[in-house]
Structure 1
């Protein structure tokens, strides 16, 4: 599974991946999130979990 945040322009960022019972963020999450959030309206953000397809 993946925890994802998205903007109305369909830009998405994976916040963490779930494997082996543990949520793990990417190593570059802090920098990626700072860039992703720059100039955005927080009211327009969406967050969801994507299930892996078999």
Structure 2
């Protein structure tokens, strides 16, 4: 019984750590500025492409 409780405690700690990492990754992924060749550039988000091949960019 104790071994199962210890395994569950480890699993909970891992889950919490992973969820914190995902929050951090999502926050940085939303950043509109990234570095390319040591220069800051704005990112563009693709809205979607129509059947005509035209794409909207925000």
**TM band (smaller chain):** under 0.3
TM-score if structure 1 supplies the norm length? 0.25
TM-score if structure 2 supplies the norm length? 0.24
Instruction: Name the structure where helix makes up a greater proportion of residues.
Output: 2
Higher RCO, 1 or 2 (CA under 8 Å, sep at least 6)?
1
